[in-house]
């Protein structure tokens, strides 16, 4: 079969445009080619061995609901490429927006400070902290996670970009002994009884679910966070679209004399909370 015929066969099994795009991306990544390369070589014959491998991976995605990023072992985030596996979350566009807004707030809140000290809590594959280091080159970045297996992936990504980043295996603040200008986190926030897609359930549950209301992570962080903040600091959270009001109450129970800004994502869903001390 040609390159085009192989893709059409895979896309014929897909039920949605998202799935069609995913199997196209899978094909490009497995062949290590660009979209332009594909369109220039649609009529090239592919080896039978490769076609079988590709279609088997397509079945893994469409039938077994394994995210394409796990099949490939990599994912894009903020135009950077990161290693991922089933011990880490698949990076999402909402989290890219969290990073983008946090960078802007850091520049606005600390206009004369270059060596910003940043902590990325529950880092997973490390995409948040590593991206902040890549974008804010003079920042001092620490990333931490309770999962040793996730942190192994994060360290691999740190090495990939040859960065000076401290990595700590820690259950929230248990292993942290520093104070920070910015603490950022996209922690688990899905309520235990909430239904999610099968593909999402392929991701590590301890990085997804957080108590009956999905708020246990924020309670754990906010009950101790003040001990790890400098006198002037920012806290940046991603959260569920319906958790804004309850999260504000948790903040007010634990912190005083702070300014809270809550913002929507690009789909107009309440998604981000920024706290300014």
Q: What is the pTM of this model?
A: 0.92
Where would I find the H helices in 63-171? 68-72, 93-109, 127-135, 148-160
Residues 239-263 pLDDT 10s: 999 999 999 999 999 999 999 999 9
Query: Tokens for 10?
Result: 């895979």
Write down the domain spans for the chain. 3-64, 88-276
Share of the chain above pLDDT 70, in %: 99
What is the pLDDT at residue 5? 96
- Structure-model confidence comparison of residues 190 and 75, the more confident one: 75
Q: Which two tokens stand for residue 115?
A: 């060596």
Residue 172 has pLDDT above 90, yes or no: yes
Q: What is the predicted pLDDT for the residue at 199? A: 67
Alpha-carbon distance values, 17 to 11, 21, 60, 170, 173 (Å): 9, 6, 18, 40, 42
| Matching residue, tokens 């980043």 | 165
Question: In this structure, is the dihedral angle defined by the CA atoms of residues 106, 107, 113 and 117, taken in order, positive or negative?
Answer: positive
CA distance 210 to 72: 28
Opening angle at CA 81, ends 31 and 195, nearest 5: 95
| Contact in structure between 110 and 201 (CB atoms under 8 Å) | no
pLDDT bracket for residue 203 (50, 70, 90):
confident
Residue 197 pLDDT > 80, yes or no?
A: no
Closest of 180, 194, 201, 181 to residue 241, by C-alpha: 194
Cα–Cα distance for residue pair 135/130, rounded to 1 Å: 9
Q: What is the mean pLDDT of residues 211-229?
A: 94
Take residue 91 and report the two structure tokens written for it: 């990076």
How confident is the model at residue 234, as a pLDDT? 98
pLDDT of residue 114: 83
Residue 211 pLDDT level (bands cut at 50, 70, 90): confident
Q: Is the pLDDT of residue 227 over 80?
A: yes
Angle of the 127-135 helix axis to the 148-160 helix axis, nearest 10: 30
When comparing pLDDT for 197 and 98, which is higher?
Answer: 98
**Residues paired with residue 118 on neighbouring β-strands, in sequence order:** 141, 182
Q: Tell me which architecture the domain covering 88-276 has in CATH.
A: 3-Layer(aba) Sandwich (3.40)
Q: Which two tokens stand for residue 141?
A: 């970045």
What are 103-148's pLDDT values in tens digits?
999 999 999 998 999 999 999 999 999 999 999 999 999 999 999 9
Q: What is the mean pLDDT of the chain?
A: 94
User: Does residue 160 carry a pLDDT above 70?
Assistant: yes
pLDDT at 123: 97
Q: Tell me the percentage of the chain whose pLDDT exceeds 90.
A: 89
Does 33 have pLDDT greater than 90? yes
């Amino acid at each position: 079969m040609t390159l085009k015929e192989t893709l059409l066969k895979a896309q014929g099994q897909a039920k949605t445009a998202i799935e069609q795009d995913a199997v196209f991306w899978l094909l490009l990544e497995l062949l290590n080619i660009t979209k332009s390369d594909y369109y220039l070589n649609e009529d090239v014959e592919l080896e039978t061995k490769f076609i079988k491998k590709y279609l088997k991976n397509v079945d893994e995605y469409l039938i077994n609901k394994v995210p394409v990023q796990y099949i490939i072992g990599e994912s894009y985030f903020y135009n950077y490429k990161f290693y991922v596996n089933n011990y880490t979350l698949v990076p999402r566009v909402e989290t890219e927006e969290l990073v983008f807004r946090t960078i802007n707030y850091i520049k606005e809140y600390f206009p004369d400070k270059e060596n910003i000290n940043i902590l990325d809590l529950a880092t997973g594959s490390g995409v948040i902290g590593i991206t902040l280091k890549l974008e804010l080159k003079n920042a001092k970045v620490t990333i931490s996670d309770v999962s040793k297996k996730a942190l192994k992936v994060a360290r691999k990504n740190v090495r990939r970009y040859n960065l000076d980043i401290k990595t700590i295996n820690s259950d929230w603040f248990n292993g942290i002994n520093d104070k920070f200008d910015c603490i950022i986190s996209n922690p688990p926030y899905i309520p235990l009884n909430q239904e999610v897609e099968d593909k999402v359930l392929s991701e590590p549950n301890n990085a997804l679910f957080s108590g009956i209301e999905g708020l246990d992570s924020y309670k754990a962080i906010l009950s101790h966070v003040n001990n790890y903040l400098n006198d002037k600091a920012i806290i940046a959270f991603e959260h569920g679209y319906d958790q804004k009001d309850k999260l504000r109450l948790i903040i007010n129970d634990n912190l005083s004399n702070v300014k809270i800004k809550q913002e929507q994502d690009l789909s107009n869903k309440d998604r981000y909370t920024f706290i300014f001390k």
